[in-house]
Structure 1
Amino acid sequence: MEKRTIDPWKWGEYTNSAQAVEVKQVEGTLYCSGQVAIDANGQLSSGDMRTQFLQTIQNVEQLISEAGYECKHIVRLNVFTTSTAEFFTTCVDLYQGFTARHGLKQATTLIEVKGLYQTASIELEATVVK
């Protein structure tokens, strides 16, 4: 697999993402459903957004790993949240840590929505290649 990121503007260097990602010679593509803070017993976290985000990241990592892929090959990561303001004040450091830990430079969309599954406040949707 060959991966190339495209960032035509200087400000793109500071976004923890890329404006576009080109992938060639792909062996497989994994399209992950949106992941929220549900534990192994199927219980949704009642914690704040930061607590939910930590569980959501763990769920994304486990799903990708068990599918035989690697997080470092995420090419698109969409973030759905019930409050972008709260995301930036309480979770952006976790997001930056997640992307740095896996060496990511992916296409990303951050979307504020009215509601998510039950009382979830954050959801991640990934596309991964090998």
Structure 2
Amino acid sequence: MEKRIINPWTWQDARSYVQAVEVKNATSTLYVSGQAAVLEDGTSSDADMKTQVAQALANLETVIAKAGFELNNIVRLTVYCTSTEEFWPHFEVFQSWISKNEIKQALTFIEVKSLFETLKIEFEATVVK
């Protein structure tokens, strides 16, 4: 599989995303449902935003690994968040995870009125191999 990153500018480099990702010769595509801070017993976390971000990313990692895909082959992430104001102080948790896993993804960030129960953030991904 070959990935080509399309970035006509440089400003997005510091924000941990790319404008577009072209994938050639992919043999498989995984569409991951939104992963939130849902605990192993299926209950929703009522933790603070920072804790929920970390748990949601851990859940995303678990699903991708279970499917036999690599995190650095995430090509698209959609983030649903109930409060961007509450999220931004914890952006480094997300950005650190992106950097650590060498992910170059197209990204859309959407503030929503609410998520299920007490959830504050959800990550949806497209992964290729």
Q: TM-score, normalised by structure 2?
A: 0.97
Aligned Cα root-mean-square deviation (Å): 0.8
- Residues matched between the structures, number: 129
Percent identical pairs in the alignment equals: 49
Is the Cα–Cα contact under 8 Å of residues 81 and 87 in structure 2 kept in the other structure?
yes
Which is richer in strand?
2
Q: Find out whether 1:28 has 2:28 as its counterpart.
A: yes
In 1, the alpha carbon distance for the partners of 2:12 and 2:65 equals 29
Cα distance in 2 for residues equivalent to 1:79 and 1:17: 12
SS of the aligned residue for 2:33 comes to coil
Identify unmatched segments of 5+ residues in structure 2.
none
Name the CA distance, whole Å, in 1 between partners of 2:124 and 2:118: 17
- Residue type of the partner of 1:8? P
d(CA) in 2 for partners of 1:110, 1:62 = 22
Please say if residues 36 and 59 of structure 2, whose CA atoms lie closer than 8 Å, have aligned partners that are also in contact.
yes
TM-score by length of 1: 0.96
Distance 2:10 2:122 in 1: 29
SS in 1 for 2:103: coil
Instruction: State the SS of the aligned residue for 1:65.
Output: helix
Gaps of 5+ in 1: none
Query: Which residue in 1 is equivalent to 2:108?
Result: 109
